[in-house]
Amino acid sequence: MRFARGNSRLLSLAGLMFIVLSMTLASSCSNTGNPGSGSNAKPSAAEAEKFINEAEKKLFALNVKYSRADWVKSTYITEDTEALSAEANKDVIAATTEYAEQSRRFEGLELSPDVARKIKLLKLSLTLPAPKDPGERDELTKIAASMEGDYGKGKYCPDADQSKCLSIGDMEKILAESRDPEELKRIWVGWHKISPPFRKDYQRYIELANKGAKEMGFKDVGAMWRAKYDMEPDAFAAEMERLWQQVKPLYDSLYTYTRRKLSDKYGQQVVPLDGPIPAHLLGNMWAQTWGNVYPLLKPETGDRGYDLTEILKARKTEPKQMVRYGESFFTSLGFEQLPGTFWERSMFTKPLDHEAVCHASAWDLDFEKDVRLKMCIQINEEDFTTVHHELGHNYYQMAYAGQPFLYRDSANDAFHEAIGDTIALSVTSPYLKQIKLIEKVPEASADIGFLLQRALDKVAFLPFGYLVDQWRWKVFSGAVGPNDYNKAWWDLRLKYQGVAPPAPRSEQDFDAGAKYHVAANVPYARYFLAAILQFQFHRALCREAGFTGPLYQCSIYDNKKAGERLKQMLAMGQSKPWPEALKALTGEDKMDATAIIDYFAPLKQWLDQENQKAANTK
């Protein structure tokens, strides 16, 4: 099990296979030892308990084997290590999917809450249920693999010159740094040409996936995804909308300020003050985070008076010392030191003699204490924060290691990412002063710049984090048909983000497919929820620590009381419905976005003042 920094969990091609082969049944039951699989006799509750215990034991062993193979593949990339990882993952696929299918024998039985929860979690671990029909199952497998492959191979070749083709990484760099609207437009349009070729495949993929979901007792795939959140699917959809309405006023203030500053830069013919922002001008291919355009938006008093990157470099900080800073944060809260194996087996720097995946991720190889960090650490402020984030995952993994195997995960799929980001929120100027990296906390006048930069990452993401699955839920349910895929996508982007495409679009395009998570069938609601929960967690821990100042200045560093509260929740893993885990940490059993409003309150006031000034000078 591994968790990656950013808006997506690290997925390999082998991981894709786990998604798309979700209902592939093994040819016999000999691989898993399922009891009574060939019997028509009505099963008992005792059989169900025996079944789930055997499933946990088998899945535990197979997942450990796969984790080890995948670690070697990620840290030492060769054809052989890739093949070994894929083979180990096939074994996980076969066992997980067969157990999920066999568990349906126990539907309708009165089971203990523990057994019933484990069986539910087992079934809902299947992200994409393929139909039982072997031909349709194979067809879905090929379509899904092809779509992700097309995305991964996607390039933009200006003027059809194959020697000058640009990868998505090349294009993202241009979008981040260029201030030429025509160049940005060319790059944006170029990337969005990769997805129309698999638009028809996506339509068929929806049909087949929905058939599989219905065979499992769900209305459609979207309903199945929403059922993972310990509430009725429609109730979960309503909860997402409620949270969005809580944060919308803050987003609107940020949006209005950003639009005006971009209009100042590019002119009203490019960015009209009464229209949507062109999506290619926000520094990101999907306009999902806007931090890259901060230099165009920063206030005059935004300088903090220190450069953490330069401080770390001046002190000749080594990569391992960066991790020691992160470990010290957790030990200051009362957590144990990282095990010796962590320091022996983690990858902190890019190997010199072989290829490895540098993307930061936290690993749990044996689901007990063999946790590791995989990261090519650069000595800069961003990686200093990222280390704290990733160790949040590792400490979560160690905390729930005492739970049964099916409970060794976060309370819901948003909690893991939210915990990592909660820890990162405590990397504040007061914290840096406490650990003697800076001599004094900057003047309050510099706080607006800090908050604006953070809002361009955290707040700007919220509507995009919400709308991706809004679109898919509508597609899965049939509310949006194949003839309206692109129209519906841009209707939602206009409604929630207030952005518009930089070039005319039609139903010949398939712009949703130009986002990895759509092409690869990765649910997205988790990222929206994590963006909300991290602030709710942060506020609760700061209260526990007795902090009374502005929320954005709070760090829980060196507070054992807050650390104990955090430990108690982390140890629950997935053993209880997530509202119980939320209550254990926050005292609240509902997600609440008012914490993000509290955090950015000074920025909201400043934005509104700036927006009013601009309105008065028209």
Q: Active-site residues: which are they? A: 359-360, 389-390, 393, 417, 517, 527
Q: Is 428 exposed, middle or buried (0-12, 13-18, 19+ CB in 10 A)?
A: middle
Give 500's strand partners: 278
Residue 28's contacts (CB-CB under 8 Å, 6 or more residues apart) are none
Q: Is 316 helix (H, G, I), strand (E, B) or coil?
A: coil
The DSSP secondary structure of 129-161, one letter per residue, reads ---SSHHHHHHHHHHHHHHHHHHHT--B-GGG-
| Cα end-to-end span (Å), the chain | 55
522, 465 contact by CB (below 8 A) = no
Residue labelled with tokens 């165009």: 296
CB atoms within 10 A of CB 445: 13
Task: Give CA–CA dist 287/188, Å, rounded.
Answer: 11
| DSSP secondary structure letters along 184-230 | HHHHHHHHTTSSGGGHHHHHHHHHHHHHHHHHTT-SSHHHHHHGGGS
234: enclosing H helix or E strand: helix 233-266
φ, ψ at 364 (rounded to 5°) = -130, 90
Residue pair 547/321 in contact (Cβ under 8 Å)? The answer is no
CA 231 to chain centre: 21
Single out the residue of 202, 215, 81 nearest to residue 476, CA to CA.
202
Q: Do residues 379 and 309 lie in contact, with contact meaning Cβ atoms separated by under 8 Å?
A: yes
Contacts of 408 (CB under 8 A, 6+ apart): 1, 364, 367, 397, 400, 401, 573, 574
Phi, psi for residue 612 in degrees, rounded to 5: -70, -40
DSSP letters, 559-601, are -HHHHHHHHHHHHHTTSS-HHHHHHHHHS-SS--THHHHHHTH
β-strand partners of 364:
371
Which string of DSSP letters, residue by residue, matches 381-396? HHHHHHHHHHHHHHHH
